[in-house]
Structure 1
Amino acid sequence: MSSPIAISSSAGKPGAGGSLRRARRAEARTARAFVTPAVVLLITFFFVPALLGFVLSLTNARLVSPQGPQFVGLDNFTRLFADPLFWKSLRNTVYFGLVVVPLQSGFALVLALLINARIRGINAYRAVYFVPVVTSIVVVSILWTFMYQRDGLVNHMLQAVSFNLVQGTDWLNDPATAMPAIIFMSIWQAVGFHMVIWLAGLQTIPGDLYEAAELDGAGRWQKFRYVTWPGLRATRSFILVTITIAALSLFSQIKIMTNGGPLYSTSTLVFQSVRAGYEQQQTAYASAISLVFFVLVLTVSLVQRFLTRDKD
């Protein structure tokens, strides 16, 4: 074992400090080499588009126009906040998120608890629940569009279960049922993904905690309340944020199944932004909608992060 005197004498030798500085510079260069690709991608695909979107929202730019964009200040935002369709799209987006986030996360947790048991064939059940996730949302939306028709599979099943007492309706062409129908399909399609995340969180909880709780006479509910739920703190924070962002970004199902109808009952902020930017070629107006959507998602994410923070 080296003595303190030997260590200090070796540190004081000529060139020792220079070698240490060279090693630190080499480590710094290595760190920059690893970080640079991620920083370049972040700047290219996040900060630059966000800055361009902000700049475009202050102009009258169009997708195809013989004249260049001109600065118009906050005219696009004034027009946006006076547009009844914007407020309807905002209500639809919030409604979709308020329903999907608790139902999808709760149902995924129930499935994860059920398939976390060590029984024969459990991997087959996991695969069955996860199949809709790996299926393209476009394909799923097309299939469910046929199923939701008046003579589709959904109404046939309702008639069979109710012995022809319930005839069903044209789900996607009724303003009262179009959004609930899309909500049901969206939860069915994505619940398997969050089930896997819940399952990963469950498997990180030490089994000793359950054994100790069982020795103390805890039942199933007490085990879940005092062992499982606290052990899933980080997992549930991640799931709530990801489900919320995905729910507020609803677009593909709307575009394929209803195209915003009927009577704009399924129009969302993202759908309105895409339609304004590409179909109506109002690039500046679409940028204004996108900025409002960005502020909405950021606010909701920060609130969720604050509410689910570690209070210890």
Structure 2
Amino acid sequence: MATVPLPTRPRPATPETALPPSDTRRKAPTKHRRPGSGREQLSGWGMIAPAAVLLLAFIFIPAILGFGLAFTNARLISPRPVEFVGVDNFARLFSDPTFYRALLNVAYFTVVIVPVQSGLALVMALLINKKFRGVNFFRTMYFLPVVTSMVVVSLLWLFMYRKDGLINEILSAVSFGLIDGPDWLGDPNTAMPAIIILSIWQAAGFHMIIWLAGLQGISGELYEASQLDGTSRWQQFRYVTWPGLFHTRSLVLVTITIQALGLFDQISVMTQGGPMDSTTTIIYEAVQSGYRQQETSYASAISLVFFVLVLIVSAVQRHLTREKD
């Protein structure tokens, strides 16, 4: 008996079978460039160009020129041609007793001002990190010296530090004439402490703002948990606040140290390095040599040594304040 084949239904066409054999291969996706991306890049480069030009003209090029001039006999105004003298400027610098006195003064200023100013700024930040009536007024008063020019502040304190100035008048009035205040800036024993007091008063508000930002970044849940555990205020500060200020602490210490090593404005306005070189600093010596004595090469050598010292101090400080595992 012959069998009759059953009719078969045609298979529905799929995208693979519907395409011709040459089109069955999957095409690689093509990357389409977003319209306007080139213009955005040009706009970005145009925005950073002014800052880049200023950095190149006033930071990088002077630094390279200063490094080169330190090994020459260049002067600010001189008919003599510039000649390469090797390390003669550095040999002269390290045999100059004034340089070592300036180095000692800067070290003394830095060792005193870093812990005192950072501690005072932290106390101020803790005081204003609370919600109470008039808190904005106190924040403004604490920060007001920062926005005032250091030259203006130095001139103001210069009159206050005079023998017949406001500070001595207050001391005399409080002691009923028994205390005769010293000549603060004319005495080698009191000149640098007077500069330190002025510097702390002027810059503490700036670091107060940094501490305050760190304090407000600590989660309030940590304080709530510590209160539930019955901790005291000191224990909250020791185990919650202080560890939470780790990165802020490093920033404040490095910032104050660099500013202290670059002490210049107060010295230039108030004491000019005196009396008896008791307040002279490395930066002040570099400016004196470069502009008043017109020894550009010697001033460049001083600046180069100062740059190396700042790098060493910053590296040591960074190592000591690093986050330990």
The normalised TM-score by structure 2 is 0.86
Match for residue 142 of structure 1? 155
2:231 is aligned, of 214, 218, 222, to 218
Determine if the alignment matches structure 1 residue 286 to structure 2 residue 318. no
| SS of equivalent residue, structure 1 residue 173 | coil
Residues 173-231 of structure 1 deviation map (CA, whole Å, 9 limit, x = unaligned): 00010000000011001111111111111111111100001111110111001111111
Residues 124-154 of structure 1 deviation map (CA, whole Å, 9 limit, x = unaligned): 1111111111111111101101100111111
1:173 is aligned, of 186, 190, 193, to 186
Matches within 5 A, 1:1-312: 14=27, 16-19=29-32, 39-312=52-325
Quote the Cα distance in structure 1 between the aligned partners of 2:130 and 2:105: 38
The Cα of 1:164 is off from its aligned counterpart by: 2.5
| SS of equivalent residue, structure 2 residue 77 | coil
Residues 63-89 of structure 1 deviation map (CA, whole Å, 9 limit, x = unaligned): 000122111000000000000000001
The Cα of 1:44 is off from its aligned counterpart by: 3.3
Task: Say which is worse superposed, 26-35 or 211-220, in terms of deviation.
Answer: 26-35
Residues 257-283 of structure 1 deviation map (CA, whole Å, 9 limit, x = unaligned): 001100111000000000000000000
Q: CA RMSD in A?
A: 2.3
Q: Please identify which structure carries the higher helix content.
A: 1
Gaps of 5+ in 2: 1-24
The Cα of 1:45 is off from its aligned counterpart by: 3.0
Instruction: Give, as a single letter, the amino acid of the residue that structure 2 aligns with 1:152.
Output: G
Task: Say which is worse superposed, 190-199 or 76-85, in terms of deviation.
Answer: 190-199
Quote the Cα distance in structure 2 between the aligned partners of 1:279 and 1:32: 41
Distance 1:42 1:306, change over 3 A: farther
Quote the Cα distance in structure 2 between the aligned partners of 1:205 and 1:144: 38
| SS of equivalent residue, structure 1 residue 229 | helix
Percent pairwise identity: 61
Larger Rg, first or second structure (1 or 2): 2
Distance 1:185 1:14, change over 3 A: same
Distance 1:98 1:241, change over 3 A: same
Gaps of 5+ in 1: 1-11
The normalised TM-score by structure 1 is 0.90
